[in-house]
């Protein structure tokens, strides 16, 4: 059993079982792992901690140390009267705890399907999904899902909307109520708790939807085009707001978006998918030079245009 400690940064660290060196490059972080058998392997830009631990033989019975989401050789086919459609093919990736990952790809490539598989809302045709060390076989309680629209019930107050998940899971008690009130206060909606959704702005509604998702205390947030229904100015402000909330609450997040700039400015890593059947074309580990990492500040980083152009070319979209 592995008993030492290891962490990843520039330079070399050693543990009782293995040593490794990280070499940062312009686009990828290249990791060399040297096991005690002197075997050296080279990997690029895909869940570095998880991949390193796996290659060094430091996994557990439940999965890979450091990875909260593991997707292994995932495939998904839909059946209809018109025949079989392959939506996803041979998808493999890991997401580490506290990481923010964005997924971009052409329309219809299976991005939302991938989120539904991670959430346990769909069953894969082949492969497996592991969340929190357990294979997903149904709706995963560790996962919160935020959709394109806020889906607030117009006949319920904001407070009644944000406790909906707690009511459904039958976990609404005094402590949960106090936590929800604390979230509403922290994120500027406490004075609107008795208002109805049609009395709030689009940005405030989206914030309420996020608090509803956070109320059940998920480990992972899945954001499926969560800002696409907003106008551009509001979208920038809400993305900034929600990014800050996710980081303060120390949540792991996976964002599906068509907006390349949004994906770069918010994510630690960007996953680029191909057209259908969707496969993973490339991973980008995002490293931007900015004093304070926020989505708006990141757009001003000198490296931002470089990532944007690379991802745009990878998408290979023709109009």
**Residues facing 83 on adjacent strands:** 80
**Domains parsed from the chain with CATH numbers:** 1-65 (no CATH), 67-142+218-315 (3.40.50.300)
Distance between CA 134 and CA 140 in Å, rounded? 10
DSSP string, 108-138: TSSHHHHHHHHHTSS--SEEEEEETTEE--S
pLDDT in tens, the chain (319 residues): 333 333 333 333 333 334 443 333 333 333 333 333 233 333 333 444 444 444 444 443 344 557 899 999 999 998 877 888 899 999 999 999 999 999 999 988 889 999 999 999 999 999 999 998 888 888 777 888 888 788 899 999 999 999 998 998 888 999 999 999 999 998 889 999 999 999 998 888 988 988 898 888 888 999 998 777 777 887 888 788 889 888 888 889 999 999 999 999 999 999 999 998 899 999 999 999 987 888 889 999 999 999 999 999 998 765 4
DSSP state of 273: E
Q: Calculate helix-pair angle for 202-215, 232-248, nearest 10 degrees.
A: 20
Task: Supply the pLDDT for residue 317.
Answer: 64
Q: What is the pTM of this model?
A: 0.75
Q: Calculate helix-pair angle for 174-186, 202-215, nearest 10 degrees.
A: 150
Cα–Cα nearest to 253, from 274, 238, 269, 237? 269
């Amino acid at each position: 059993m592995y008993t030492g400690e290891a962490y990843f940064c520039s330079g070399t660290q050693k543990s009782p079982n293995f040593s490794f060196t990280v070499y940062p490059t312009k686009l990828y972080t290249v990791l060399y792992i040297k096991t005690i058998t002197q075997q050296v392997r080279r990997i690029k830009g895909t869940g570095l901690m998880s991949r390193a631990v796996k290659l060094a033989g430091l996994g557990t019975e439940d999965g890979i140390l450091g990875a909260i989401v593991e997707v292994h050789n995932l495939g998904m086919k839909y059946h209809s009267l018109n025949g079989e459609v392959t939506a996803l093919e041979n998808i493999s990736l890991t997401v580490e705890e506290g990481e923010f990952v964005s997924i971009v790809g052409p329309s219809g490539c299976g991005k939302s399907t991938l989120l539904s598989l991670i959430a346990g809302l769909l069953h894969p045709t082949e492969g497996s999904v592991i969340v929190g060390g357990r294979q997903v076989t149904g709706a995963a309680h560790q996962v919160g899902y935020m959709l394109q629209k806020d889906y607030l019930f117009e006949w319920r107050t904001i407070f009644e909307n944000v406790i909906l998940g707690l009511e459904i899971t039958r976990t609404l008690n005094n402590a949960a109520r106090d936590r929800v009130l604390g979230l509403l206060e922290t994120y500027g909606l406490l004075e609107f708790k008795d208002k109805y959704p049609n009395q709030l702005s689009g940005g405030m509604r989206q914030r309420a939807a996020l608090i509803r998702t956070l109320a059940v205390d998920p480990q992972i947030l899945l954001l499926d085009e969560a800002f696409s229904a907003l106008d551009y100015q509001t979208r920038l402000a809400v993305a900034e707001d929600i990014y800050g909330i996710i980081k303060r609450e120390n949540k792991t997040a996976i964002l599906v978006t068509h907006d390349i700039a949004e994906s770069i400015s918010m994510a630690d890593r960007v996953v680029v998918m191909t057209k259908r059947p969707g496969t993973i074309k490339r991973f980008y580990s995002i490293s931007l030079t900015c004093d304070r990492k926020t989505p708006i500040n990141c757009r001003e980083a000198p490296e931002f245009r470089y990532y944007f152009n690379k991802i745009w070319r990878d998408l290979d979209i023709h109009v």
